């Protein structure tokens, strides 16, 4: 689903909120309320990013802005599990669409455009078009632009609808004595079973909690001396997920074994990456200081902290070929960051990385 697409159900949410407008805004009329809702949706669209996703599987993602668009009306109406509900709705629709395609249901581009034109014409003739025009003003789209932006969303919805109607006709034919309400209930139960089977088969129960499939490493940054060891702790979600591999960007600086144990080899920097079986990654930045470093490596001016002032003093020292004013404290042992007995540009590079990785310490 393209990030520019606006979830069609937002319009339905607007209709639902109209019924509660007295609670939603005591002194605002319906037009103002719809305008505010439009502004909120515009904000979501403007902040939408392909990198800002809730990952269900590597091939199945839900954009966070889609969740927010469904979550906010539900949260406003008092639902404590608004995020979970929003994710559940989006997952259900995605699963239904996938299963519909697997069963050969599809719609043509012409059918989608016919539906869009029908919606545009219907809204033009609607009695409350003037009130809904405030929603379009808030979202920054004309009536036509809004519905045309729905192409991808509507195509999926029409495929799902075709799947649903086909099942409805089959159930109705097999239960001629049942009334319409009972038939709809049977069809809904059928699709709920399909969705639950898909969720179980693909181990997606965890996603319904609203927590994204993920991996994190602790610590995310570390400073080691040559020969030091550090065990990185990986936390994966769901718990059935696992770390499939550990790698180091620079094994000559730091190595990592299959259990996440990092060994510092030589001065420099390395990025350790943990990758899950599902392809999720997390990293930890490792800075290795040389064995000859002083009591507080990087504390060039001896004030007890490593910060930007130390960087300035070291630059001053190197620019003046080692000649430094007697008024400036210079701790040579702390400036020799790679422990090679020489203070040079390599030490400066390490200190710059040190400050970049860890911030002021």
54: tokens are 């809730």
Looking at the fold, whether 158 and 98 belong to one and the same domain comes out as yes
| Backbone CA torsion sign across 11, 17, 21, 25 | negative
How many C-beta atoms lie closer than 10 Å to residue 210's C-beta?
17
> Do the domain assignments include residue 151?
yes
Strand partners, 222: 286
Domain that holds residue 350: 308-358
| Residue 294 counted as domain residue | no
Same domain, 22 and 152: yes
Q: Do both 158 and 264 map to the same domain?
A: no
Q: What is the pLDDT of residues 282-299, one digit of tens each?
A: 999 888 876 544 567 788
* pLDDT, position 360: 39
Dump pLDDT digits (tens) for 240-285: 678 889 999 999 999 999 999 999 998 778 899 999 887 788 999 8
Q: Report the alpha-carbon distance of residue 155 to residue 134 in Å, rounded.
A: 26
Final residue in a domain of this structure, among 209, 243, 270: 209
* Number of domains, the chain: 3
CA gap 49, 63 in Å, rounded: 8
Asked if residue 1 is part of any domain, the answer here is: no
Are 170 and 94 in the same domain? Answer: yes
Spans of the chain, pLDDT less than 50: 1-28, 292-293, 357-361
144 and 62 housed in the same domain: yes
**CATH code, domain with 111:** 1.10.4030
Do residue 261 and residue 314 come from a single domain? no
Q: Answer yes or no: do 161 and 30 share one domain.
A: yes
Sort 151 into a burial class: Cβ within 10 Å, 0-12 / 13-18 / 19+.
Answer: middle
Q: In this structure, are 82 and 190 located in the same domain?
A: yes
> What is the Cα–Cα distance from 292 to 306, expressed in whole angstroms?
17
Please check whether residue 332 lies inside any domain of the structure. Answer: yes
**Residues with Cβ < 8 Å from 65, sequence gap 6 or more?**
3, 44, 45, 47, 48, 52
Residues in Cβ contact with 336 at an 8 Å cutoff, skipping those fewer than 6 apart: 290, 292, 293, 294, 342, 343, 347
Domain boundary among 150, 177, 209: 209
Q: Does any domain span residue 189?
A: yes
Contact in structure between 149 and 7 (CB atoms under 8 Å): no
* In contact, 14 and 135? CB cutoff 8 Å: yes
Residues near 244 by beta carbon (within 8 Å), at least 6 away in sequence: 275, 276, 277
Is the residue at 2 inside a domain?
no
Residue 295 lies in a domain: no
- Of 289, 324, 342, which residue is a domain's last? 289
The bridge status of strand 221-225 relative to strand 261-264 is unpaired
Say whether both 192 and 228 belong to one domain: no
In a domain, 79, yes or no: yes
Question: pTM of this prediction?
Answer: 0.58
| pLDDT given at position 76 | 62
Please check whether residues 148 and 238 belong to one and the same domain.
no
Judgement on whether residues 62 and 194 belong to the same structural domain of the protein:
yes
- If asked whether residues 196 and 226 sit together in one domain, one would say no
Domain of 225, CATH number, reads 2.60.40.1080
- For residue 63, what are the β-bridge partners? 53
């Amino acid at each position: 689903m393209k990030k520019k697409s606006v979830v069609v159900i937002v319009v339905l949410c607007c209709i639902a909120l109209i019924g509660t407008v007295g609670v939603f805004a005591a002194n605002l009329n319906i037009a103002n309320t719809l305008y505010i809702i439009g502004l909120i949706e515009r904000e979501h669209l403007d902040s939408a990013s392909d990198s800002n996703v809730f990952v269900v599987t590597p091939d199945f993602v839900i954009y966070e802005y889609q969740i927010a668009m469904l979550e906010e009306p539900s949260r406003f109406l008092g639902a404590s599990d608004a995020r979970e509900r929003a994710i559940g709705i989006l997952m259900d629709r995605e699963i239904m669409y996938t299963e519909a395609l697997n069963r050969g249901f599809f719609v043509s581009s012409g059918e989608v455009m016919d539906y869009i034109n029908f919606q545009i014409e219907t809204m033009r003739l609607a009695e409350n078009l003037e009130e809904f025009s405030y929603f379009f003003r808030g979202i920054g789209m004309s009536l036509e632009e809004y519905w045309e932006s729905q192409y991808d969303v509507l195509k999926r919805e029409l495929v799902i609808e075709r799947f649903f109607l086909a099942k409805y006709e089959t159930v109705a034919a097999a239960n001629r004595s049942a009334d319409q309400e009972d038939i709809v209930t049977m069809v809904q139960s059928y699709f709920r079973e399909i969705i639950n089977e898909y969720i179980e088969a693909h181990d997606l129960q965890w996603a319904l909690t609203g927590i994204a499939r993920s991996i994190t490493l602790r610590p995310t940054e570390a400073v080691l001396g040559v020969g030091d060891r550090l065990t990185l702790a990986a936390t994966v979600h769901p718990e059935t997920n696992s770390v499939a591999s550990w790698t180091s960007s620079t094994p000559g600086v730091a190595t990592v074994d299959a259990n996440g144990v990092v060994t510092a080899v030589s001065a420099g920097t390395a990025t350790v990456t943990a990758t899950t079986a599902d392809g999720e990654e997390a990293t930890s930045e490792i800075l290795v200081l040389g064995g000859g470093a002083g009591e507080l490596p990087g504390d060039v001016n001896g004030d007890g902290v490593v910060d930007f002032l130390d960087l300035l003093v070291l630059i001053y020292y190197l620019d003046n070929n080692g000649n430094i004013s007697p008024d400036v404290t210079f701790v040579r042992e702390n400036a020799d960051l790679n422990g090679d007995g020489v203070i040079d540009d390599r030490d400066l590079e390490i200190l710059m990385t040190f400050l970049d990785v860890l911030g002021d310490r």
